[in-house]
Amino acid sequence: MLLEIIELDGPGHLRLKGELDLSGEDALTAAIETARASEGQLRLDLSELTFMDSSGLRVILRAVLSSNGSGPVVLERPSSAVRRLLDVALPTGAPGLEVRE
């Protein structure tokens, strides 16, 4: 399943559904840039993301680096597959990145 990006209830709140790999990197980058135009906190609901590789993580970490003081990038309800990647790649977390179960 390809990546689907759904705008949720408020500015900067997106749900990612499907698989996030290199093929979805550009679409997610564009969606994040659009969401950032609202100048709110970026929140990504990852509950329906069945797969994410390092290219998806790279997009998220770039968003953290470009947050410009708008608060942490929040990853909401990561799926078990995403949680495993985060645990392996960022075992102690990352500044500016918040994970909410």
Domain covering 4-100 in this structure, CATH number: 3.30.750.24
Residue 71's pLDDT band, with cuts at 50, 70 and 90, is confident
Residues belonging to the chain? 101
Q: List the chain domain ranges.
A: 4-100
Rounded CA separation 90/2 (Å): 25
Q: pLDDT category, 13, cuts 50, 70, 90? A: very high
Provide, rounded to the nearest whole percent, the portion of the chain with pLDDT above 70.
Answer: 97
Neighbours of 29 (CB within 10 A): 14
Highest mean pLDDT: which range of 17-21, 30-34, 39-43 = 17-21
Average of per-residue pLDDT across 43-55: 96
Distance of CA 90 to the CA centre of its chain: 14
User: What confidence score (pLDDT) does residue 96 get?
Assistant: 93
| Average pLDDT value for residue range 88-95 | 94
What residues are paired with 99 via a beta bridge? 75
Position 23 pLDDT exceeds 80? yes
pLDDT band at 94 (very low <50, low <70, confident <90, very high): very high
